[in-house]
Amino acid sequence: MNVICLHEEAFYALIDTVVKRIKETHGIKEDKWITTDQAMRKLGITSKTTLQKWRDEGRIRFTQPEKRIILYDNDSIKEFLEKNAKDTF
């Protein structure tokens, strides 16, 4: 039996590649509207206050279909991240 060892970063990069490939192969698209937890994960933040601040400042689009339900625009989050990306030297 052969054993393959991967560093943690390489392992997660492999998982991301596999998931992306499966989505492309089967035509699976991401949801337009995502939950607070999903938005925070995509943005790499742990503070709901930061998310609310960005929402209140108009940096990220959201919808509020009911008083206690807030959903975030997935495309808006991607645009926000791209807009704040820095090129390497």
Read off the pLDDT of each residue in 33-56 and give the average, rounded to a whole number.
94
Nearest to 36 by CA among 60, 11, 58, 2: 60
Burial bucket for residue 38 (CB in 10 Å: 0-12, 13-18, 19+): middle
- What one-letter code names the amino acid at 27? G
- Indicate the helix (H) or strand (E) that contains 72: strand 69-73
What average pLDDT score do residues 21-33 get?
A: 80
Question: What confidence category does residue 73 fall into, taking pLDDT thresholds of 50, 70 and 90?
Answer: very high
Using a 10 angstrom Cβ sphere, with 0-12 exposed, 13-18 middle and 19 or more buried, the burial of residue 39 is buried
Extents of the domains making up the chain: 30-89
- What average pLDDT score do residues 53-60 get? 94
Answer yes or no: is pLDDT of 20 > 90.
no
CATH topology classification for 30-89? Arc Repressor Mutant, subunit A (1.10.10)
